[in-house]
Amino acid sequence: MTSTGGHLPPDAPGPDGDDPHQAPDESALAESFPTIEDALAAAEEEADPETAERLAAAAEEDAEREADLQVVLRSGLFSGPDSDVLDEVLDDETDTPDDDTDLSTDPATGRGGPGADGVAPSSDQGTGTPEEEALLADVTAQIISRAPEHDIQPSLDRVRDALDLLGNPQSAYPIVHLTGTNGKTSTARMVEALLRERGLTTGRFTSPHLHTIRERIAIGGEPISTPDFLTAYADIAPYVDLVDGQHTDSGGKRLSFFELLTVLGYAAFADAPVDAAVVEVGLGGRWDATNVADGQVAAITPISLDHTRWLGSTLIDIANEKVGIIKDGATVVLARQPEDVEGVVLAAAAQAGARVVREGVDIEVADRELAVGGQVLTLRTPAGTYEGIHLPLHGAHQAQNALIALATVEAFFGGAALDGGVVEAAFASVRSPGRIEVVRSSPLIIVDAAHNPAGVEALREGLAEAFDLEHVVGVVGVMADKDVEAVLGELEPLLDEIVVTDAGTERAMPAEELAEIARDVFDEDRVHLRPRLSEAIDTAAGLAEANAEEVVTRTAVVVTGSAVLAGRAREVTGHTGA
């Protein structure tokens, strides 16, 4: 059964016998996730009388919640848990974190907390009332208590089961699916901009986030609002509980952090509703939670070595995972790849009966010139040539991303050319936070989320092209599961000095350990250790300014090594927009 709105069976009454598709109020929120009751009680003390009355009513809603779940069981949509499992779900008043929970994560953002690097999370990201923001913090804490997104669980069954209960919202709109190693998020933003400029209401699902978990689910080009996030979570929570119970009772695992967000994103897009969704895989492709949906266009950005612990140690292994998103009869838009990787993609496309549009064969960046704040492009596709396209992003890799995005949207509309004005306006509006982004001018501070060797190479080339820099100080923090020596090796020709810091999560390599490796790659006197990010940026700025005073030169601080670090650096410098 497919549904584009609420997710109870069509003939099921709502809690009060009303429309089952109506959005829940605060009482319904408490009904759907009882661990929020404490937050409601705390908020009640400071709320106005009308709000206090609504919040107090939440405690009386348990019977209605049980009735709703009984409706689900009787509907025949879910054949898993028996009444004992249902009782267990209804009685579960606490959510104990898994052993792999990142206890340093801030519940308001889903990222490293202030204890990790001395940077408090931004306070201006909220879009709801104080009560709603308190609920969001509680919900985020529940979500991040699950297995982290890099903990691969090779099964799509959990996500499929949850979406089946919800009426398969991922089937309610066409999907553009993106995979690759680098450039996915920037390309997704460009695809979305083109679709919106054509008049479509869009959903965008990307990861990771820089500041708030809401960034991962965007509707109409903006992060989902706090109230809408809470409504979507309230909508899916009972069914997630049921699926968790079914799988854990049979010896399996409950939905992971990323799987739950995938379910939430697909449901939120259906409820908006959106005309199209742009969906970026979290990791790989074949077993990625997003792959329960069928994308009519599959875009594949450049593939390189990354996440080798989970995807394989060779490019062939990684490519075999990523081509898993290619569905029967789809169109594949393929960025330029190493020859052996291209062979894997072409074989998979042939097996699926998919059409392939290849960079270097069918599409190309015909010309590009530097311009103030970015570059001007000429892009050639099967449908035509687009000239004088201003892209306010730096680097040849962003020109490539624009090409892939343009060809992807052409394919989405059946291969027809797009209006030149649409293309110009869409690309002119594109922003990609944390990608060669200038966040301060004196001294010049640039933030980039490069986290693997290929990403650092693109960073180096972009900086060399767009900035006349003679002395660069790096602030670097990386995740422990990355190829750290290779990342530092790519950074060495760029950085005159490096300030090693902590990326801000339990997954990060400790700054002291990273400094030891850095001393082997750089001359020892070029390496400085400052575990706290705020101190690291201050130190780097001081080094850059001292050099500028001694020699007439163009200096800069570049903060890089992980998306988490990029997000926290944006907060330090007051850049928190998405």
Residue 106 has pLDDT above 90, yes or no: no
Which are the contacts of 341, defined by CB distance < 8 A and separation ≥ 6? 303, 315, 316, 319
Please choose, from the candidates 502, 278, 462, the residue with its C-alpha nearest in 3D space to the C-alpha of residue 368: 462
| pLDDT tens digits, 490-527 | 999 999 999 999 988 888 999 999 999 999 999 999 99
Share of the chain above pLDDT 90, in %: 63
Q: Which of these ranges, 112-121, 181-190, 310-319, 496-505, has the smallest mean pLDDT?
A: 112-121
Distance, CA of 441 to CA of 523 (rounded, Å): 28
Residue 90 has pLDDT above 70, yes or no: no
DSSP 445-467: EEE----SHHHHHHHHHHHHHH-
| pLDDT tens digits, 383-442 | 999 999 999 999 999 999 999 999 999 999 999 999 999 999 999 999 988 889 999 988
Q: Determine the Cα angle at 389 with ends 387 and 390, to 5°.
A: 150
pLDDT for 54 equals 53
Q: Which of these ranges, 104-118, 272-286, 540-554, 559-573, has the smallest mean pLDDT?
A: 104-118
pLDDT for 312 equals 53
Distance, CA of 120 to CA of 576 (rounded, Å): 12
For 424-531, list the strands marked E by DSSP.
437-441, 444-447, 471-476, 497-500, 527-529
Amino acid at position 16, single letter: D
Distance, CA of 462 to CA of 386 (rounded, Å): 23
CATH superfamily of 437-572: Mur ligase, C-terminal domain (3.90.190.20)
Report the DSSP beta bridge partners of residue 527. Answer: 498
Match domain 26-94+125-295 to its CATH number in 3.40.1280.10, 1.10.274.10, 3.40.1190.10, 3.40.190.10. Answer: 3.40.1190.10
Which are the contacts of 249, defined by CB distance < 8 A and separation ≥ 6? 81, 85
Share of the chain above pLDDT 70, in %: 74
Please choose, from the candidates 171, 163, 159, 161, the residue with its C-alpha nearest in 3D space to the C-alpha of residue 4: 171
Please choose, from the candidates 402, 348, 401, 408, the residue with its C-alpha nearest in 3D space to the C-alpha of residue 383: 408
Contact call for residues 434 and 447 (beta carbons, < 8 A): yes
Contact call for residues 290 and 281 (beta carbons, < 8 A): yes
Please choose, from the candidates 108, 119, 185, 169, the residue with its C-alpha nearest in 3D space to the C-alpha of residue 143: 108
Element (H, E) at 202: strand 202-205
Give the range with max mean pLDDT: 245-249, 455-459, 461-465, 564-568: 245-249
Give start-end residues of each CATH 3.40.1190.10 domain in the chain.
Answer: 26-94+125-295
Q: Which residues of 466-481 are buried (b: 16+ CB within 10 A; e: fewer)?
A: bbebebbbbbbbbbee
| pLDDT tens digits, 455-489 | 899 999 999 998 989 999 999 999 998 889 999 99
Reduced to 3 states, what is the DSSP secondary structure of residue 569?
helix
Taking the CA of residue 364 as centre, how many other CA atoms within 13 Å lie in the half-sphere pointing to its CB?
A: 5
| pLDDT tens digits, 276-335 | 999 999 988 899 999 999 999 999 999 986 545 555 568 998 999 999 999 999 999 999
> What does each C-alpha distance from 108 to 230, 256, 268, 449, 569 come to in angstroms?
13, 19, 20, 21, 17
| pLDDT tens digits, 419-431 | 999 999 999 999 9
Q: Which of these ranges, 93-102, 351-360, 439-448, has the smallest mean pLDDT?
A: 93-102
Assign 211 a pLDDT band (cuts: 50, 70, 90).
confident
Q: What is the DSSP letter of 479?
A: B
Longest dimension (CA), the chain: 78
* Owner of token pair 């010139």: 369
Taking the CA of residue 510 as centre, how many other CA atoms within 13 Å lie in the half-sphere pointing to its CB?
A: 3
DSSP 352-381: HT-EEEEBTTTBEEEEEEEETTEEEEEEEE
pLDDT for 553 equals 61
pLDDT for 482 equals 85
Give start-end residues of each CATH 3.90.190.20 domain in the chain.
Answer: 437-572
Question: How many residues does the structure list for the chain?
Answer: 578
Distance, CA of 65 to CA of 238 (rounded, Å): 8
Reduced to 3 states, what is the DSSP secondary structure of residue 558?
strand
DSSP 210-227: SS-GGGGEEETTEEPPHH
Distance, CA of 363 to CA of 356 (rounded, Å): 11
| pLDDT tens digits, 7-66 | 333 333 333 334 433 444 444 444 444 444 444 444 444 445 555 555 555 445 444 444
Query: How high is the mean pLDDT of the chain?
Result: 81
Reduced to 3 states, what is the DSSP secondary structure of residue 543?
helix
Q: Helices H, strands E: what count in the chain?
A: 21, 19
Distance, CA of 128 to CA of 224 (rounded, Å): 11
| pLDDT tens digits, 56-80 | 554 454 444 444 444 333 333 333 3
Contact call for residues 336 and 303 (beta carbons, < 8 A): no
Structure tokens at 577: 């927009």
